[in-house]
A and B are shown apart, each in its own frame.
Chain A
Amino acid sequence: MNVALQVRDLRVTYPGPPSVRALDGVDLNVVRGECLGLLGESGSGKSTLARVVLGLATGARVEGALQLGDQELGTLDEAGWRRIRWTRLALAMQSTAALNPVLRIVDQVAEPLRVHLGHSRGEARERALATLASLGLGRAEAERFPLELSGGQQRLAVLAVAVVCEPEILLLDEPTAGLDAVTRDQVVAFLRSLRERRGTTIVVLGHDVEALHALADRVGVLYRGWLAEIGPAARVLGDPRHPYSRGLLDARPTLATIKELRGIRGRRPDPALVSPGCPFYGRCTQSVSECMEIRPALEPPAGERDSRLISCIRGGVLLLLEARGLRKSYGGVHALDDVGVEVRHGEVLGVVGPTGAGKSTLALLLANLLVQDAGTVTFDGHRLNGKPSQDLRRRLQLVFQNPFEALSPRLTVLAAVREPLEVQRAASRDEATKLVRRALDSCRLPSDDAFLGRHTHELSGGELQRVALARALVLEPQLVVLDEPVAMLDPSEQAELLQLLKAIQVERGMAMVLVSHDLATVLRVADSVVVLAAGRVVERGSGTQILTAPRHAVTRALLAASGAGALFHQQAHSNDQEAQS
Chain B
Amino acid sequence: MQGEPTTDASGSPAASHVRSVQRRRVGAPVAFYGATAFLVVSIVFLLPRAMPGDPLLARVDSSDTLFVIDDEGRDRFRAYYGLDEPLLAQYRNYLGSIARGDLGWSIGRSAPVRELIAAHLPWTLLLVGTALALSALIGFFAGIAAAWRRGRAGDRLLLVTLTGTRAMPEYVLGTLLLILLAVVVPAFPLAGARTPFAVHESAVAAVIDVAYHLVLPATALTLGLLGGKFLLVRNTAISALGQDYMELARAKGLPERLLKYRHAGRNALLPFLTVLGIQTGFAVGGAVFVETIFGYPGMGTLILRALDERDYPVLEGSFLVLAGCVLLVNLAVDLTYGRLDPRARAS
Contacts and interface: CB of A to CB of B under 8 A. Distances in A.
Contacts of B263: 100, 103
Interface stretch (B102-110, B135-143, B242-250): B242-250
B262 A86 contact: no
Interface string A78-107: 000111111100110101011111110000
A97 B243 contact: yes
- Which has the most chain A C-beta neighbours within 10 Å: B248, B251, B254, B262? B251
B210 to A, nearest CB: 39
A82 to B, nearest CB: 4
Given A83-B253, A98-B245, A148-B346, 13 more contacts: A81-B253, A90-B251, A93-B244, A93-B251, A97-B244, A100-B263, A101-B245, A102-B270, A103-B263, A103-B266, A115-B253, A148-B342, A158-B248
A458 B99 CA distance: 102
A93 B248 contact: yes
B343 A101 contact: yes
Contacts of A81: 253
A93 B269 CA distance: 26
Contacts of B342: 101-102, 145, 147-148
5 contacts: A82-B253, A85-B253, A100-B245, A102-B269, A161-B248
Contact of A98 (B248, B258, B269, B343): B248
- Which has the most chain A C-beta neighbours within 10 Å: B244, B247, B253, B258? B253
Contacts of A148: 342, 345-346
A112 interface: yes
A115 B251 contact: no
Contacts, number: 76
A111 interface: yes
B244 to A, nearest CB: 4
Interface of B is mostly: helix
A495 interface: no
Contact of A145 (B249, B252, B255, B345): B345
Interface string A273-315: 0000000000000000000000000000000000000000000
Contacts of B252: 85-86, 111-112, 115, 161
B267 interface: yes
Interface in B259-283: 262-263, 266-267, 269-270
A552 interface: no
Contacts of B254: 82, 111-112, 115
A87 B252 CA distance: 9
A147 B267 contact: no
Given A82-B255, A147-B346, A100 B247 contact: no
Contacts of B250: 56
A235 interface: no
A323 B347 CA distance: 68
Contacts of B253: 81-87, 112, 115-116
Interface string A407-444: 00000000000000000000000000000000000000
A469 interface: no
Nearest to B245: A100
A56 B245 contact: no
A325 B103 CA distance: 113
A85 B248 CA distance: 11
A56 B251 contact: yes
Contact of B266 (A87, A95, A100, A115): A100
A398 interface: no
B267 A101 contact: yes
Nearest to A82: B253
Contacts of A97: 243-245
Interface in A332-379: none
A84 B247 CA distance: 16
| CB-CB nearest 8 A-B residue pairs | A85-B253, A145-B342, A97-B244, A100-B245, A82-B253, A98-B248, A148-B346, A98-B244
A54 interface: yes
Nearest to A88: B253
A103 B244 contact: no
Contacts of A116: 253
B346 A56 contact: no
Contacts of A85: 251-253
Contacts of A82: 253-255
A158 B247 CA distance: 13
Contacts of B255: 82, 115
B223 to A, nearest CB: 30
Interface string A96-135: 0111111100000001100110000000000000000000
Contacts of B345: 145, 148
Contacts of A95: 244
A136 B244 CA distance: 24
A77 B137 CA distance: 32
Given A81-B253, A115-B253, A102 B247 contact: no
Contacts of B247: 56, 93, 98
Contacts of A145: 342-343, 345-346
A100 B262 CA distance: 10
B262 A103 contact: yes
Contacts of A111: 252, 254, 258
Contacts of B243: 97
Contacts of A100: 245, 249, 263, 266-267
Contact of B251 (A54, A102, A103): A54
A260 to B, nearest CB: 37
A145 B254 CA distance: 20
A116 B252 CA distance: 9
A55 to B, nearest CB: 9
A175 to B, nearest CB: 15
A116 B253 CA distance: 8
A318 to B, nearest CB: 43
Interface in B19-49: none
Contacts of B346: 145, 147-148
Nearest to B264: A100
Nearest to B249: A100
Given A82-B253, A115-B255, A161-B252, A102 B266 contact: yes
B263 to A, nearest CB: 6
Nearest to A96: B244
A56 B248 CA distance: 9
A54 B248 CA distance: 10
Contacts of B269: 102
Nearest to A83: B253
Contacts of B249: 100
- Which has the most chain A C-beta neighbours within 10 Å: B263, B342, B343? B342
A103 B342 CA distance: 8
A91 B253 CA distance: 11
A61 B297 CA distance: 63
A81 B346 CA distance: 36
A115 B343 contact: no
A82 B251 CA distance: 8
Interface in A215-230: none
A300 B245 CA distance: 41
Nearest to A99: B245
A83 B254 CA distance: 9
Interface in A44-67: 54, 56
Interface in B311-347: 342-343, 345-346
A5 to B, nearest CB: 16
Contacts of B267: 100-102
A575 B145 CA distance: 72
A54 B245 CA distance: 15
